[in-house]
Amino acid sequence: MNWGVETSAEVCYNNKMKKTTGEGRVTYGVLTMMKRNWAAVGGMTLLLMAVLTVMMRAMLACAGSMGQTLALAALFALVFGGTMAVYEHMERPKVGTLAFVGAFAALSVMTRVSMLDFQTADYVSYLSKWIEVFREGGFSLLAENVGDYNLLYQYALLLIAKTPLHDLYLIKLISVAFDYALALAMMRAAGAYAGERAKLPVFLVMMVVPTTLLDGACWGQCDSVYAFLVIMSLLLLKRERPSASAAFLALAFAFKLQTIFVFPVVLLGLIHKKYRLRDALVFAAAYVATMIPALLAGRPFMDALSVYANQSMGQYYDRLTYNAPNLYLFFPMLEFTNSQEFTWMRYIPGVAMEGTQPYLTEPLMPDLQHAALYACIVLTLIVVIYWLIHYRETTMDMTLEFALFFAIFLPFVMPKIHERYFYLADMLSILYAAKRPDRRFMPLLVVGASLMSYVPYLMRQRPIDERWLALMMLLALVTVARDLLTGMRRNRRALLKGGEAA
Do residues 380 and 413 lie in contact, with contact meaning Cβ atoms separated by under 8 Å?
A: yes
* Range in 243-257, 273-287, 309-323, 343-357 with the lowest mean pLDDT: 343-357
Please tell me the total count of domains within the chain: 2
When pLDDT is cut at 50, 70 and 90, the band that residue 465 belongs to is confident
Asked whether residue 250 is assigned to any structural domain, the reply reads no
**Looking at the DSSP assignment, which residues form a beta bridge with residue 142?**
none
Please name which of 21, 77, 70 lies closest in space to residue 45, comparing C-alpha atoms: 77
Do residues 62 and 166 lie in contact, with contact meaning Cβ atoms separated by under 8 Å?
A: yes
- Burial string for 81-102 (b: 16+ CB within 10 Å, else e) reads bbbbbbbbbbbbbeeeebeebb
Asked whether residue 74 is assigned to any structural domain, the reply reads yes
Cα separations in angstroms, 350 against 315, 316, 332, 367: 21, 19, 14, 10
Q: For the segment 428-447, what is each residue's pLDDT rounded down to a tens digit?
A: 999 999 999 999 999 999 99
Cα separations in angstroms, 18 against 213, 328, 438: 43, 60, 38
What's the average model confidence in pLDDT over 84-111?
96
Q: Which of 114, 130, 158 is the last residue of a domain?
A: 114
What's the average model confidence in pLDDT over 20-38?
66
Predicted confidence at residue 495, as pLDDT, reads 85
Predicted confidence at residue 149, as pLDDT, reads 83
Q: For the segment 475-484, what is each residue's pLDDT rounded down to a tens digit?
A: 999 999 999 9
Q: Which of 73, 94, 114 is the last residue of a domain?
A: 114
Q: For the segment 112-129, what is each residue's pLDDT rounded down to a tens digit?
A: 999 999 999 889 989 999
Output DSSP code: residue 323. B
When pLDDT is cut at 50, 70 and 90, the band that residue 315 belongs to is low
Specify the higher pLDDT residue, 344 or 130.
130
* Range in 242-246, 272-276, 316-320, 327-331 with the lowest mean pLDDT: 316-320
Asked whether residue 279 is assigned to any structural domain, the reply reads no
Whole-angstrom distance, CA of residue 336 vs CA of residue 342: 8
Q: Which of 91, 114, 137 is the last residue of a domain?
A: 114
Q: Which residues contact 295 (CB under 8 A, 6 or more apart)?
A: 301, 304
Asked whether residue 261 is assigned to any structural domain, the reply reads no
**Given a cut of 70, is residue 342 above it in pLDDT?**
no
Hey, what amino acid is at 242? Answer: P
User: Sign of the CA dihedral 196, 197, 203, 209?
Assistant: negative
Specify the higher pLDDT residue, 13 or 34.
34
Q: Which residues contact 333 (CB under 8 A, 6 or more apart)?
A: 318, 319, 320
**Structural element, H or E, at residue 321:** strand 321-322
Do residues 375 and 328 lie in contact, with contact meaning Cβ atoms separated by under 8 Å?
A: no
Whole-angstrom distance, CA of residue 497 vs CA of residue 502: 9
Q: How many CA atoms lie within 13 A of 284 on its CB side?
A: 5
Asked whether residue 219 is assigned to any structural domain, the reply reads no
Asked whether residue 227 is assigned to any structural domain, the reply reads no
Q: For the segment 374-423, what is each residue's pLDDT rounded down to a tens digit?
A: 999 999 999 999 998 988 898 999 999 999 999 999 999 999 899 999 99
What Rg do the C-alpha atoms of the chain give, in angstroms?
25
* Range in 165-174, 334-343, 364-373 with the lowest mean pLDDT: 334-343
Please name which of 161, 167, 168, 174 lies closest in space to residue 120, comparing C-alpha atoms: 168
Asked whether residue 400 is assigned to any structural domain, the reply reads yes
Asked whether residue 205 is assigned to any structural domain, the reply reads no
Please name which of 185, 169, 206 lies closest in space to residue 248, comparing C-alpha atoms: 185
**In which domain, by residue range, is 72 found?**
1-114
Q: How far is CA 485 from the centre of its chain?
A: 26
| pTM summary value | 0.89
Whole-angstrom distance, CA of residue 454 vs CA of residue 433: 23
